[in-house]
Structure 1
Amino acid sequence: MPKMKTKSSCKKRFKVTAKGRVKAGQAGKRHGMIKRTNKFLRDARGTTTLSAPDEKIIKSMMPYSR
C-alpha cells in the first residue's frame, strides 16, 4: 500500500509533543494589537496546546505523527 500523505498546511503550523498533544501558535496576534488588552498580549505569547476535539482533526491530517 502506498504511503499516506501529510497535509502540508498542518506540518507547517503544528507540532506533536512527546505525550501526543498538538502544539500550535497562539491566535489573534497578527494585527490590531492596539485594541487588545495588555493581559491578552501577555497570555498569547509563545505556543499553546489544542483542545481535544481540535487535536482529533489535526491528527487525522498528520498520519505519521507519533
Structure 2
Amino acid sequence: MPKLKTKSGTKKRFKVTSTGKVVMYASNKRHNLSHKSKKMKRNAKGPIIMSKQDTVIVKKYMNTKI
C-alpha cells in the first residue's frame, strides 16, 4: 500500500508538540468581532490542545508517528 500524501492544509493549521500533542488555534477570531461577546473572544484566545481521537486523524494526515 502506498504512503499517504501529506495534506498541505493540515500542515498549516496544526502543530505537533514535542510530547506528541496536537495544537490548533480557535476559530471566530478573524473578522466581525464587534458583535461578538467578550466571553466568546476571550475563549477563542490562544492555542487549544486537541482531543486524543482527533489527534490520531491529524497525525495520519501529517504522516507523523502516532
TM-score bracket, normalised by the shorter chain, equals 0.7 to 0.9
TM-score (normalised: structure 2): 0.76
Q: Distance in 1 between matches of 2:9 and 2:65?
A: 14
Q: Which runs of 5+ in 2 are unaligned?
A: none
The answer to whether residue 17 in structure 2 is matched with residue 17 in structure 1 is yes
Q: Give the drift of 1:12.
A: 0.8
Instruction: Give the aligned length.
Output: 66
Q: Percent identity?
A: 42
TM-score, with length taken from structure 1: 0.76
Q: In the alignment, is the contact (CA less than 8 A) between 1:24 and 1:50 conserved in 2?
A: yes
Match of 2:29 in 1: 29
The alignment yields a C-alpha RMSD, in angstroms, of 2.2
Point out where structure 1 has 5 or more consecutive residues left out of the alignment. Answer: none
Does the C-alpha gap of structure 1 residues 58 and 37 become closer, same or farther in structure 2, counting only changes over 3 Å?
same
Q: Deviations over 1:18-62 (max 9, x none)?
A: 111100111121233123210221121121111122212111101
Runs of 4+ in 1 over 2 A off after TM superposition: 2-5
User: CA separation in 1, counterparts of 2:50 and 2:56?
Assistant: 9
